Structure 1
Amino acid sequence: MRLFVQFAASLLIMATGSVYASEKLEQNQAYQQAYALYLLNHPQKEAKNSPFNISEYTQDYHDLFNKNKKVDVEQFVQYEQDRLVTLLKQRREMSLKQAHVRFNILDNNKDQKMTLSEFQESGVKTFESFDKNKDGILDQQDIQLAGNSSETHDGFRIKLPISMPMPSNVTEFIQQYGQGKDYVTLGDYFSARDKQYFSTDTNADRVVTEQEYVNEFTQRFDQNSASGKEKMKALSIAQFGLIAQGKKTIQANDIQNFAQKLNQEITQ
C-alpha cells in the first residue's frame, strides 16, 4: 500500500510538472505573439531593431480605455480584431506592391511574361538556400546545419496566423513540400511549383503575365488573411488571460503591468 501511495504521488508530481510546463509554454507563446503584433503595428521598430517601448505599447490601447474604464474579454477581442482590419489593409497594399516587384525580377528577359523556366529558376535558388550541405536533398542534416531560425518569411520573429504560409526554415520547408516524408528533393519542390505555375496561368497560354501573377498572389493573401483573422481571436483571448490574471475585466493599468512583464520576457 505504501509503495502504491508513493507511486501515485510520483505520478501526480509528474503530471503536475507536465501541466505546468505546458502552461508555461503557452504563456511564452502568448508573450511572443503579443510582441510580434506590437512589431506589426510598429514596423519601424523591426526595421531599426529598436527596443520595446512600454509607453508606446500602452498607448496602443488608449482608444479602448478611453471609451471603457473596464473591459471584458469580448470587448478586448473585438478591439484587437478592429486593429487587425487596419493592419491587414496596410499589409495588403504593401504586399501587392512587392508582388509586382517580384514579377519583374522573375521575368529575366523583361518581355512582360514569365515562362515556367524563369519561374523554376527562382525555385532552384530558394531550394539551394535551404540545402545547407549542398547534396540536393533537404533532410535532418540540413535542419541541424541551419541551427535555430525563428524568423518568418516576412522578417518577423514569430509566425502568426496572418503570416503568409511560406516556409522560413528547413523544417517548415519539409513539412510543406515533403508530402509526408522526412525529406524533400528538388524534384518534389519542382512538382509543387509546376502546379502553382499552371494554376496561375488562368488563360492556359503557357506563360504568366504580371496581372495573372499578382491576381494569384492577391487571392492567396486574402484567403490567408480571412482565416488568419479568425484564428487571431484565440491569441487575443490568451493575451487577455495573461493581462487579467484571473479577473473578468481589465483596466488601463493592467495593460501597463502586462507591458512591463512583456518587456522582461523579450529581454531575457
Structure 2
Amino acid sequence: MQRRSTALSLFLAITSCYLAADENAPKKPAHQPTAHQPTAQGKASFIQDYDLNKDGTVSQAEFEQVRQQRYSAMDENQDGQVSVDEYVNEYAGRLDKKLDAERTGQIKQTLVRIEALDTNKSKTIGKDEYHASGDKAFAYIDTNKDGVISKADPLPERERKPDAKQPVRARPALVMPTTHSVTGMLDMYDQNGDGKVDKAEYQQQRDAAFARTDLDKNGELSSDEYLNEFVDRLDRQIAKTRAAQLKQAAVRFKALDKDNNQYISAAEFHASGGRMFKRWDTDQNQQVTMAEALPVVHNEKTKGTAE
C-alpha cells in the first residue's frame, strides 16, 4: 500500500507542473523524436479504431467493414466519390468526438490533482504546497542530480522498467505539455533554447505561473483559479490541435487521390486501406493483434500510409 501511495504521490507531483506551461513557455520548435518506425502505441490506435467487437483483434473483415462505413459517411451527396471537403468533414466529426472525450478526462484528472496538491486540506493551494510539488517533479527528472535537466539525465528508474502488465494505450488526439520526461521539461521550461533547464530557470517560471493564476493576489490558489487557468490552456490546445489535424487531413486527401482528379474514388480509398492492413498484419494471417511483431520501415517513401 505504501509503495502504491508513493507512486501516486509522485505522479500527481509531476503532473501538477502543467500549471507552468503557458505564454511564458519558450516560443521555439518542440523537441521532436526523429524516428519514423511504427510503434506499439500506433498499433493500439489502429486496433481501437477498427476492432468492432472489442476482442483485441482486428480481422480483415472487420477492417473492411469499418472502411466501407467511413467511405459511405464521407460521400455526403452519394455521388460515388469523395471531395476534399467531404473527406475532411468526416474526419472532423470523428476527431471532435475524441477531443471532447479527452477534454473531459483532462478536467477530471485536474480535479484530482487539485485535491492532491492541497496537502493541508485548506481548500486552497498555498505557495509552499505548489513549490513542494514542483521540487519533487524537478528532482524526479534530474536523475543525475547535477541540478540541471538535460539530455544527459538517464531515464528515471520507473520509466526504464515499465509495468509489463500495463496494456499499451492508443495514441491520444490531444497532447498537453508534460513534465514526465526530459523532453517535456525542455519544451516547457528551456526559455533560452540551450538544451538544459537549471533550477533557477525552472523556479522563475514556476513563480510566474503561480502569480498569473492567483487572480485575486491573496498568495494562494483556489480550486476555481487553478481549474480555470488549466481549462483556458486546454481549450486553446484543443483548437490548435484541431486546426493542425484538419490541415493534415487535407494533405492525406492529396496522397489518396492517386489520379489527381480532386476526388477519392472507392477504389483509391480501399487500396490505401489494403496497404494499411497489410502493413500491420506482419504475420500475414488476416488479423492484427498487439502480440504480433511491429512492422519495420526500411524505406522513407513507405514510412506512412494515408488514412
Give TM-score, length-normalised by structure 1: 0.70
Change (3 A) 1:92 1:212: same
1:111 is aligned to 2:143: no
**Separation in 2, partners of 1:40, 1:95:** 23
1:166 is aligned to 2:178: yes
The aligned residue for residue 254 of structure 1 is 271
**Separation in 2, partners of 1:173, 1:138:** 8
Q: May I ask how many residue pairs the two structures share in their alignment?
A: 231
The aligned residue for residue 267 of structure 1 is 294
Deviations 1:1-49 (A, max 9, x none): xxxxxxxxxxxxxxxxxxxxxxxx99948x77x948x739949x9xx9x
The aligned residue for residue 206 of structure 1 is 219
RMSD of aligned residue pairs (Cα, Å): 3.9
> What residue identity is the alignment partner of 1:92?
R
**Separation in 1, partners of 2:58, 2:36:** 17
The aligned residue for residue 69 of structure 2 is 62
Change (3 A) 1:258 1:117: farther
Matched-pair contact (CA < 8 Å) for 2:114–2:226 = yes
Matched-pair contact (CA < 8 Å) for 1:65–1:71 = no
User: What are the equivalent positions in structure 2 for 1:45-84 lying under 5 Å apart?
Assistant: 55=62, 59=66, 62-66=69-73, 68=75, 69-84=80-95
The aligned residue for residue 252 of structure 2 is 239
Give TM-score, length-normalised by structure 2: 0.62
Change (3 A) 1:27 1:175: closer
User: What are the equivalent positions in structure 2 for 1:1-268 lying under 5 Å apart?
Assistant: 28=36, 35=42, 39=45, 42=48, 55=62, 59=66, 62-66=69-73, 68=75, 69-142=80-153, 145-146=154-155, 162-179=174-191, 180-245=193-258, 248-251=263-266, 253-254=270-271, 256-263=273-280, 267-268=294-295
> What residue identity is the alignment partner of 1:208?
L
1:141 is paired with a residue of what secondary structure?
Answer: coil
**Separation in 2, partners of 1:40, 1:214:** 33
Change (3 A) 1:256 1:182: closer
**Separation in 1, partners of 2:92, 2:68:** 13
**Separation in 2, partners of 1:206, 1:60:** 55
**Separation in 2, partners of 1:203, 1:188:** 25
Deviations 1:130-180 (A, max 9, x none): 1121222112311xx23999x9xxx968686x3113344313322331222
Change (3 A) 1:167 1:76: farther
Identical-pair percentage: 22
Change (3 A) 1:28 1:74: farther
Change (3 A) 1:61 1:134: farther
Deviations 1:168-194 (A, max 9, x none): 431332233122222111221121111
Structure in which a larger fraction of residues adopt helix: 1
> What residue identity is the alignment partner of 2:264?
T
Matched-pair contact (CA < 8 Å) for 1:58–1:259 = no
Quote the offset at 1:217 in angstroms: 0.8
Change (3 A) 1:184 1:27: closer
Unaligned 5+ runs, structure 1 = 1-24
Change (3 A) 1:260 1:128: same
Quote the offset at 1:234 in angstroms: 2.8
Deviations 1:176-226 (A, max 9, x none): 312222211122112111111111111111110111111111100001101
**Separation in 1, partners of 2:86, 2:240:** 21
The aligned residue for residue 3 of structure 2 is none
Change (3 A) 1:175 1:243: same
Change (3 A) 1:242 1:137: same
> What residue identity is the alignment partner of 1:186?
K
> What residue identity is the alignment partner of 1:129?
Y
> What residue identity is the alignment partner of 1:254?
A
Matched-pair contact (CA < 8 Å) for 2:148–2:198 = yes
